[in-house]
Every structure is written in structure tokens, then in C-alpha cells.
Amino acid sequence: QQQVKQSPQSLIVQKGGIPIINCAYENTAFDYFPWYQQFPGKGPALLIAIRPDVSEKKEGRFTISFNKSAKQFSLHIMDSQPGDSATYFCAAKRDTDKLIFGTGTRLQVFP
């Protein structure tokens, strides 16, 4: 119930493509769903986050789609760039709880 399942494990796209990373959860008490971007040797950096009262949130080229009934959420990266090459983690938490991370997706964007 505390798990967050993330797929795919790795993703390769061409520059300009739209990689999509999916996450699923079981605990309906989760109410905050962030995505973190991590470059090698660095800490996770918050990219974008959503709460379950909205179905979509967009910030720049990054969009979260949220499906509360299916207990799924996904990250879309529009017009992907080589600089977006990183590992992306979805996460979930309850209001006063710790972050539960997905297993990560390694994204490579080729020029």
C-alpha cells in the first residue's frame, strides 16, 4: 500500500520528442504527488507537483496528468532537449508523512 510503481525503467527519445513516464499508487490517502529530476551525483530537485483536486498541471515544458480514479499519474516532457537527460522519480506522500519514491526512470534525449 505504501509503494509507488514507476515505468518505464529507461527511456530513449530524440530531441523534440515527448517522453512519458507513468506512476501508479495504491494508498488513497496520498494527497501530494511530486516529480523530482536527478542528475548524476546530485540530489533530487523538485520539477513539478500536483494535488489530487486537479487532473492536469503544466509548468513550462513539463506536464503532470493525474487520474484519481485509476490511481495513476504521469509526467510528459514536451519538446525534450538533451539537457533533460536525467533520472526522473515520481513520489507520493500523505499530508504529514514522508515521501515515498518510485523506482526512477532514466531518460536519455539524443540530439
Binding residues for another protein, rule: CB under 8 A, are 32, 34, 36, 41-46, 49, 89, 95-104
If the CB atoms of residues 40 and 83 are measured against another protein, the closer one turns out to be 40
**Distant-in-sequence, close-in-space partners of 23: CB < 8 Å, separation ≥ 6:** 4, 5, 6, 7, 33, 72, 73, 74, 90, 92, 102
Contact in structure between 66 and 53 (CB atoms under 8 Å): no
If the CB atoms of residues 15 and 51 are measured against another protein, the closer one turns out to be 51
In the complex, the smallest distance separating the C-beta of residue 83 from another protein, rounded to whole angstroms, is: 19
If the CB atoms of residues 41 and 111 are measured against another protein, the closer one turns out to be 41
If the CB atoms of residues 66 and 89 are measured against another protein, the closer one turns out to be 89
In the complex, the smallest distance separating the C-beta of residue 3 from another protein, rounded to whole angstroms, is: 10
What's the distance, Cα to Cα, between the start and end of the chain in Å? 40
In the complex, the smallest distance separating the C-beta of residue 45 from another protein, rounded to whole angstroms, is: 7
